[in-house]
Structure formats: C-alpha cells, structure tokens
C-alpha cells in the first residue's frame, strides 16, 4: 500500500472512528470494504487503524476483536472471533489472574468492553504446563464493574465470578500456548501503533501551540530550547512508528515486544516534552493535553508497560547472548 493510499485510508478511518453511533466498529469498517483492504495489505491497514485511533482518542474497541480473532486463528475455530478476551488484572499477559481450583474456574480479569449475558468469553489460565484457554459460553452471572481512574472514553470493565469446570471448553497444550503468544504479539504491535498515533498528535498540537503563544513579542516556538525538545520527541516517535510497522509485517513475538516498549517510551517522552511547551495551561482540565496523557499511561500499561518490557528485553539478551535483527534495524 503506497503513501497516497494510506493517506486516503487514514481519512476514511478518521470518519469511521469519530462518528457518533452505537454500531459496532466491525460493522462500520465493513461499510468501507475492510476485508478487501486487509487482503491488499493487512499490516499497513491495521497499523493505520490503530494510529488513527490514537490520534482521535476514539472509544471504539479495536483491540478486543483483534485479540479474539488472533486466538480464533491460533486455536483453529473461527467461531471464537465473536468472543471477548478476559485479560489479566495486572494487564501483563504472563501474570494471569484467572485460576482453576477443584471443580471451578474463578474468572478475575479485565474486559475491554462490557459484555452482555450472551457474550462468550476466552479466558487465559496459568497451569504447570503453560497457558490454557477456557471458552465460557456466556458472561451471564459474572459481576462486572467499570475500571476506575483510566480514560473516560475507555469502557473497560473488571469481571469476577466462578464457572463450573464442566461447563467450560478447554484448549490446552502447545496450541493454546502458541495462540496466546501470537495474540499478545499482535496486540502489542497494534498498541504500539496506537501509542505512535498519540505521540504524533501530541507533538503536532504542541508545535502548533508554540507558534501561537508569544513571550516578549516572539512566538515561543522560535526559542531553540523548545525546538530541540519537540524535534527530539518527534524523532523518537517516528522511530517507534517504523518499529510498529516492522513488527506488524513480521508478526512474531520479539519484534512486537520491542515495538511496544519503544512506542510506550516514545509516547511518554512526547507528552513530557509537550508539557514543557504548554507550561501551566497543560495542567488544566480545560486543555485537551491531559486526555492524551491519560490515554498514553493506560495503553502503555496494557500488555506490559515499557519499563517492564525493557527489563524483559534486557534479560532475554543477557540470557541468549544474541541480538535478533528486526527488519532493517
């Protein structure tokens, strides 16, 4: 997909993600001919979708269906695409919080959208042999409450409850472990793209502000100190954007891990430098900046925050004594 096509797609996705409607995102994307777009260049299409979601701070859930589709593919059951994935309470994919004890599955985790009673659930559960995936046919009977102190446009809920083991369909062994790993990888590079979208928007808005705000009769954007801050932040975000695209093309866990860590750090750096440009107004509720800052912190935590992931990257490099090459990096 060339640059002109991506720009056209970006414009269409901005409309889809910002329109006021209760229609599921999948239906709105279908109106665009989304299946044909994915068939042409899936990696570029999905990276663009998530970048635009970051730029617009859309409340439409794009990640939940992506994770469910990845698990459905890995487990070889297309019907699972309609399920909701129960993420661990810590949001780190290896710190699974749902457990099996005796004859019951205890569900404890986070859903990216409130389920209805008929929504099937895919629940990753830790076991001595690795990750198991439980398919619960209905969310009926679960206690569901909004996750507080995130981003007001996000609709995450915490779900708790117990289900009899006999009522659950289990996916075990290497198939379940590989499916969960693949879903996490896909989620990580998608989130990396979304964080890049936030970073680009934050930098653009801050630069625009510095061209308008004046001190001593001059636009503050003419001051070298601010120019250096924003140039450095922009370069970091653009570097992270290339990492997200490479990870999407390669589709394997290591590039996705690196992309998520890089994008999380880049988006936070963009927000830090933008705050310096805004000064006091950036601390007010009236200014939009805090909305992007909050979304950055929330998305960074999802599937592993950048500080934790950088430690995991370092530990892996020390253990293997090998530095894998990622695309042209």
CB-based contacts of 11-15 (< 8 A; 24+ apart in sequence): 13/48, 13/49, 13/52, 14/52, 14/55, 14/56
The predicted pLDDT at position 106 comes to 95
Contact 237, 292 (CB under 8 A): no
With CA atoms as reference, report the closest residue to 275 among 223, 221, 228, 229.
Answer: 229
The predicted pLDDT at position 328 comes to 62
Residues in a beta bridge with 133: 124, 171
The predicted pLDDT at position 212 comes to 85
User: CA neighbours within 13 Å on the CB side: how many for 106?
Assistant: 9
The predicted pLDDT at position 222 comes to 78
For residues 262, 113, 287, 190, the Cα torsion angle rounded to the nearest 10 degrees is 20
Neighbours of 285 (CB within 10 A): 7
Q: Which residues of the chain have pLDDT under 50?
A: none
What is d(CA 99, CA 106) in angstroms, rounded to the nearest whole number? Answer: 5
Please state the pTM of the whole predicted model: 0.94
The predicted pLDDT at position 36 comes to 94
């Amino acid at each position: 997909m060339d640059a002109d096509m991506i720009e056209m797609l970006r414009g269409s996705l901005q409309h889809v993600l910002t329109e006021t409607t209760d229609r599921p995102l999948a239906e709105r994307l279908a109106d665009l001919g989304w299946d044909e777009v994915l068939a042409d260049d899936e990696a570029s299409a999905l990276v663009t979708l998530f970048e635009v979601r970051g730029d617009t701070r859309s409340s439409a859930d794009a990640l939940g269906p992506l994770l469910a589709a990845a698990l459905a593919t890995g487990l070889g059951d297309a019907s699972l695409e309609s399920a909701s994935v129960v993420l661990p309470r810590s949001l780190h994919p290896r710190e699974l919080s749902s457990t099996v004890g005796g004859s019951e599955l205890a569900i404890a985790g986070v859903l990216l959208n409130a389920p209805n009673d008929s929504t099937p659930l895919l629940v990753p559960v830790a076991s001595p042999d690795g990750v198991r995936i439980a398919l619960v046919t209905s969310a009926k009977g679960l206690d569901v409450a909004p996750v507080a102190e995130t981003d007001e446009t996000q609709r995450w809920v915490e779900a708790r409850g117990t289900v009899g083991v006999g009522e659950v369909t289990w996916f075990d062994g290497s198939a379940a472990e590989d499916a969960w790993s693949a879903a996490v990888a896909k989620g990580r590079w998608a989130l990396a793209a979304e964080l890049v979208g936030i970073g680009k928007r934050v930098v653009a808005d801050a630069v625009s502000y510095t061209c308008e705000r004046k001190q001593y009769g001059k636009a503050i954007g003419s001051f070298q100190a601010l120019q250096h801050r924003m140039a450095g932040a922009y370069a970091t975000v653009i570097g992270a954007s290339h990492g997200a695209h490479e990870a999407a093309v390669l589709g394997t866990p290591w590039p996705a891990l690196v992309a998520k860590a890089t994008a999380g750090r880049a988006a936070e750096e963009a927000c830090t430098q933008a705050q310096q440009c805004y000064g006091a107004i950036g601390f007010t509720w009236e200014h939009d900046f805090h909305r992007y800052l909050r979304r950055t912190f929330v998305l960074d935590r999802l599937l592993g925050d950048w500080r934790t992931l950088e430690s995991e990257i370092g530990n892996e490099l020390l253990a293997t004594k090998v530095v894998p090459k990622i695309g042209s990096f």
